[in-house]
Amino acid sequence: MPTLKDVASEAKVSLATASLAMRGKPGVTSATAQKVRSAAKRIGYQLNASARSLRSGRSGILVLIVPRLSIPFYNHVAEAVAYEMEKAGMQAMIQQSDLFAEHERETVGRIASTIADGIIYNSTRLDDESITALTDQRPVVMIENFAEPRTLDTVNTPSQEGMNAAVNHLVDVGCSRIGVLGRSPEDTGRASQLSSISKRTRYDAALAAIAHAGQDLEMAAWPDPVSWSIEDGRKAALELARQGLPYDGLVCMNDMMALGVLRGFHEAGVKVPRDVAVIGFDGIQEGAYNTPTLSTIAVDYRGLAQASVSLMMRRLDQPDDKFMPQSIRVGYELIKRESTAR
């Protein structure tokens, strides 16, 4: 494979000039730059990213880590964040942290030891401190980090406001016994883990909204832990039906669970929204095509992506700034669909 040295001799300039010219840096006449570039093209030159990175300490690569890509919320985030990374002129790489159980710590370490200029982190089992230690100097932006104290730049979904809007919507359509589905199994015990804190934050926000609406908290909380999966949503709905449907309105912690709930109610012969109104959280595309279509609190994915990447670029461009980490809460939209239309 041809190197920059080959380009330089092909263009009859020095190595330094070739390097400058290829990157469009000042200090080279445009005629020379043109000459170099066409020489590079002629011999099929490709930059060796490792060499650049080793020498300059910059790779131009930004890594995004999400738990797993088959979960709609995360692949929506991944798509949006990668788009913004590329728009900022960086190369976007995506990694999954949840492929192997208890594997995340290692992944972060390996990433850190890799060529990323910075890392955007969505949902993890590690706290700020461990992440900082593992990534060592490289800027990190967290998505969905509700742990305190916060030592890293963070972009969060609007748990409180969104859950308020969800509950108020159910009240508006006439629900008087609102339940909350999605107390996460990790809630007890390993509560220091980030993902469980962020789950709990959303869950607590829903409870608070219900209390604020003057409803009975005792009844509102679904007592059993349920993972936020579509299958657990289905099972929970079957169980609720078996119990004689204690609620006429149901707030689900995410859309996947809500879709499972709608399926479960269908199987149990419970009519949505007639017997019970259901609302989700996230705003994944599938909700718009389900029967019934799913009402939801749609997270502003684009806003979330833009905020994360601009936080990252700022740290990259001004590495000497010692400002305390920022915390951004993105917007949401209440989307009213069939599952709450009554």
Partner DNA sequence: CTGAAAGCGCTTACAG
Closest approach, Cβ 119 to DNA, in A, equals 19
Strand partners, 120: 64, 141
Q: Which listed option, DNA, its own copies, none, makes contact with residue 191 (CB within 5 to 8 Å by class)?
A: none
**Residue whose CB is less far from DNA, 41 or 190:** 41
E runs forming strands in the chain: 61-66, 91-96, 118-122, 140-143, 153-156, 178-181, 249-252, 277-282, 295-299, 327-329, 332-335
How is residue 324 annotated by DSSP?
P
Q: Which listed option, its own copies, DNA, none, makes contact with residue 223 (CB within 5 to 8 Å by class)?
A: none
Residue type, 274: R
**Residue whose CB is less far from its own copies, 29 or 48:** 48
Question: How far is it, in rounded angstroms, from Cα 271 to Cα 127?
Answer: 42
Q: Which listed option, its own copies, DNA, none, makes contact with residue 14 (CB within 5 to 8 Å by class)?
A: DNA
Q: Which listed option, its own copies, DNA, none, makes contact with residue 322 (CB within 5 to 8 Å by class)?
A: none
Tokens 């912690």: give the residue.
253
Q: Which listed option, DNA, its own copies, none, makes contact with residue 188 (CB within 5 to 8 Å by class)?
A: none
**Residue whose CB is less far from DNA, 139 or 249:** 139
**Residue whose CB is less far from DNA, 23 or 110:** 23
Question: How far is it, in rounded angstroms, from Cα 262 to Cα 258?
Answer: 6
Closest approach, Cβ 105 to DNA, in A, equals 20
**Residue whose CB is less far from DNA, 2 or 303:** 2
Residues 6+ apart with CB under 8 A from 54: none
Q: Which listed option, its own copies, DNA, none, makes contact with residue 129 (CB within 5 to 8 Å by class)?
A: none
Q: HEC string of 229-293?
A: CHHHHHHHHHHHHHCCCCCCEEEECCHHHHHHHHHHHHHHCCCCCCCCEEEEEECCHHHHCCCCC
Closest approach, Cβ 269 to its own copies, in A, equals 12
How far the first Cα of the chain sits from its last, in Å, is 67
CB contact at 8 A, 11 and 35:
yes
Read off the tokens for 115: 């060529």
**Residue whose CB is less far from DNA, 22 or 237:** 22
Is residue 135 within the footprint of DNA (CB under 7 A)?
A: no
Q: List contacts with its own copies (CB under 8 A).
A: 1, 44, 46-51, 53-54, 59, 61, 63, 68-70, 72, 75-76, 78-79, 82-83, 86, 91-96, 99-100, 109-110, 112-115, 133, 136-137, 230, 234, 259-260, 262-263, 266, 285-286, 289-291
**Residue whose CB is less far from DNA, 149 or 319:** 319
Residues 6+ apart with CB under 8 A from 110: none
Closest approach, Cβ 133 to its own copies, in A, equals 8
Closest CA to 152 of 142, 162, 138: 142
Residues 19-78 that bind DNA (CB under 7 A): 19-20, 22-23, 26-29, 32, 45-48, 51-52, 54-56, 58
Residues forming the site for DNA (CB under 7 A): 1, 3-5, 12-17, 19-20, 22-23, 26-29, 32, 45-48, 51-52, 54-56, 58
